[in-house]
């Protein structure tokens, strides 16, 4: 692991400011920030380390991140090895016991969530495989409800006076989410069993929740860039199975998806796992899922009709 050349002492001149009554919350990625804001309301101030257009495996760590983490009361991380390549050295530089491992403000979003794709043996020859399992669990909206409850519990521990407000906001979020899950399930119901192609194994939880098949990837192995021979294999499989939709995210190489689409007649659909990565989804997990579901459903409808991309 690369050791960052910064220490908190070197950054002290940057840290002028006074504490506020609000909980200072830091989220590694923007879906956790959206949940924190939904639950915390005006009792929290939330900052995000990774940009929504940034590959969460390879975040550009900055000295300002150390300052942000040093001031935090709460850190919400995935906890399934997604941030393992860049978060530990930032925490070492921040020297904040409140959010250190086992600290009162350390929140692992994956706690209590059954992770998929847990490898029986950790073999790096299979690509960037996560020992804890597939870390993209927030693409199943049921898991967003679980994370919201975990976050509310943490806020209540740290701010007992605010606990009634956190519980009320949690209940409102869960009610809105349940209503939307029903609508999303109905929207995608006509396509149950339909196969799709994804760039990375990001959409496994989404596909399982809504009855799609997502077991063909533009990457030959997780984290390994697509190669021409592999893309030709993907094209052959798509033709054989009638796969007509390819999902791609903002930080992934669109040219690979376009090449596959040109050779199969498939539609390329821009989706994202992070609020703010698509227009109209800034800071709002439900808006993000709305956008993803509608984009995927519309593409599946169009491909079923045989329309042009």
What are 244-277's pLDDT values in tens digits? Answer: 999 999 999 999 999 999 999 999 999 999 999 9
**Pairwise CA distance, residues 2 & 89, whole Å:** 8
Taking a C-beta distance cutoff of 8 angstroms, is the pair 283, 34 a contact? yes
Mention every residue, 6+ apart, whose C-beta is less than 8 A from residue 243.
Answer: 195, 196, 197, 216, 237, 264, 266
Pull the structure tokens for residue 132.
């804890």
**Pairwise CA distance, residues 79 & 106, whole Å:** 10
Virtual CA dihedral for 239, 241, 247, 248, nearest 10 degrees?
-40
Per residue in 34-49, pLDDT tens? 999 999 999 999 999 9
pTM: 0.89
pLDDT in tens, the chain (309 residues): 444 544 444 444 444 343 446 999 999 999 999 999 999 999 999 999 999 999 998 898 899 999 999 999 999 999 888 899 899 999 999 999 999 999 999 999 999 999 998 877 665 555 566 677 899 999 999 999 999 999 999 999 999 999 999 999 999 999 999 999 999 999 999 999 999 999 999 999 999 999 999 999 999 998 899 999 999 999 999 999 999 999 999 999 999 999 999 999 999 999 999 999 999 999 999 999 999 999 999 999 988 776 544
Q: Is the dihedral of CA 161, 163, 164, 165 positive or negative?
A: positive
- CA distances for 80 relative to 16, 84, 116, 129, 267, angstroms: 34, 8, 11, 11, 32
For helices 30-40 and 285-305, angle between their N-to-C axes, nearest 10 degrees = 130
pLDDT over 70 percentage in the chain: 89
pLDDT at res. 132: 76
Long-range contacts of 176-183 (CB under 8 A, 24+ apart): 176/286, 177/141, 177/144, 177/145, 177/148, 177/286, 178/145, 180/141, 180/286, 180/289, 180/290, 181/141, 181/142
């Amino acid at each position: 692991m690369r050791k960052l050349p910064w220490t908190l002492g070197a950054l002290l001149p940057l840290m002028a400011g006074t504490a506020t009554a609000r909980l200072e919350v830091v989220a590694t990625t923007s879906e956790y920030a959206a949940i924190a804001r939904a639950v915390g309301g005006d009792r929290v101030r939330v900052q995000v380390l990774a940009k929504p257009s940034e590959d969460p495996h390879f975040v550009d760590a900055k000295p300002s991140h150390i300052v942000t983490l040093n001031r935090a009361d709460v850190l919400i991380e995935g906890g399934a090895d997604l941030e393992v390549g860049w978060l530990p050295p930032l925490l070492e530089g921040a020297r904040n016991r409140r959010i250190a491992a086992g600290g009162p403000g350390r929140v692992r979003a994956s706690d209590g969530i059954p992770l998929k794709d847990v490898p029986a043996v950790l073999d790096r020859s299979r690509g960037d495989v996560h020992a804890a399992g597939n870390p993209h669990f927030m693409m199943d909206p049921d898991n967003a409800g679980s994370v919201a409850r975990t976050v509310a519990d943490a806020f209540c521990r740290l701010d007992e006076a605010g606990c009634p407000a956190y519980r009320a906001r949690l209940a409102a979020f869960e009610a809105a989410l349940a209503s939307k899950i029903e609508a999303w399930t109905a929207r995608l119901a006509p396509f149950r069993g339909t196969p799709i192609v994804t760039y990375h194994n990001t959409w496994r939880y989404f596909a399982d929740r809504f009855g799609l098949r997502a077991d063909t990837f533009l990457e030959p192995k997780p984290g390994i860039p697509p190669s021409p021979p592999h893309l030709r294999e993907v094209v052959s499989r798509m033709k054989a199975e009638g796969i007509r939709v390819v999902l791609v995210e903002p930080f992934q190489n669109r040219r690979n998806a376009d090449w596959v689409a040109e050779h199969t007649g498939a539609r390329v659909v821009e989706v994202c796992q992070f609020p703010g990565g698509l227009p109209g989804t800034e800071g709002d997990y439900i808006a993000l899922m709305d956008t993803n579901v509608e984009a995927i459903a519309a593409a599946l409808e169009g491909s079923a009709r045989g329309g042009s991309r």
